[in-house]
Amino acid sequence: MPELPEVETTRRGIEPHIKGQRIAECYVRQPSLRWPVPVSALEAIKGEPIERVERRGKYLQLVTPVGVVLVHLGMSGSLRVLTEPLAAGKHDHVDICMENGAILRLNDPRRFGSVLWDDLTKLHPLLADLGPEPLSDDFSGDYLYRSAAKRRVAIKQHIMNSQVVVGVGNIYANEALFRAGIDPRRQAGRISHERMTSLVAEIKQVLAAAIEQGGTTLRDFVNSEGKPGYFKQSLNVYGRGGQPCVTCGTALSEIRQGQRATVFCADCQR
């Protein structure tokens, strides 16, 4: 599932090719994604320029003067830019065509992604309750400590709550907690201010490193073959249950938390 670094890498990959371009046509081949695609709204943005491409959490925002197209990649979605026409495949559900000939194409085999419309009259409901961006100054040790006060929920589930902080998905929650030396099962409200500050720093570092790696190793977003290939991450714990800890050599433990795999070192993480 694309997580925040993959979504941010997607944003950086497509923006240079569509920013400032006017929309010539929108083709919706499959309107039944996670939510119905607002076909009439997409038809209404013909002739409008894409002023910028932004990201809020895992939502990409194609900003026009009359509103915003929200794109979520779901479990298996991807975006790429075509510089010449290419016959659509089975899972190519939406094309946004520019006047210069470029085509922004959404491919989504499992159809858990979404294309929605925000008319700017009020904050879209899907964005209204989101917490701060993890790489912003608003996400600090003091903020995370206060948000966890008296909370009995496990710290891993706390930092994966999008109302607390957006975009800290399962992979990066595992990795940041390992780097901070915090047991993912520990109650959020029982972690000191100092350790919360350390955890915030590790979340920022692991996400920034993943974005940087994606920016240098992701295949070109302008192509006619296949989907963008996301970077292979160098991971300390995620996906390594039962293998030796890179720090102490102890076999890593693997449990389920909130239906997600959690891998940690019982010796290094307290």
Catalytic residue among 2, 5, 134, 184: 2
Catalytic residue among 3, 6, 8, 202: 3
Task: State yes or no: is 2 an active-site residue.
Answer: yes
Q: Return the ∠ at Cα 223 (arms to 5 and 64), rounded to 5°.
A: 65
Task: State yes or no: is 3 an active-site residue.
Answer: yes
What does the alpha-carbon distance between residue 4 and residue 169 come to, in Å, rounded to a whole number? Answer: 7
CA 212 → CA 4, 208, 217, distances in Å? 12, 6, 9
Task: State yes or no: is 85 an active-site residue.
Answer: no
Residues that constitute the known binding site for DNA: 91, 110, 151
Catalytic residue among 12, 29, 185, 260: 260
Residue 255: strand, helix, or coil: strand
| Complete DSSP assignment for 214-243 | HHHHSPPSB-SSS---PPPP--SSTT-TTS
Residues that constitute the known binding site: 91, 110, 151
Contacts of 122 (CB under 8 A, 6+ apart): none
Catalytic residue among 11, 56, 58, 227: 58
Task: State yes or no: is 58 an active-site residue.
Answer: yes
Q: Which active-site residues does the annotation give?
A: 2-3, 58, 260
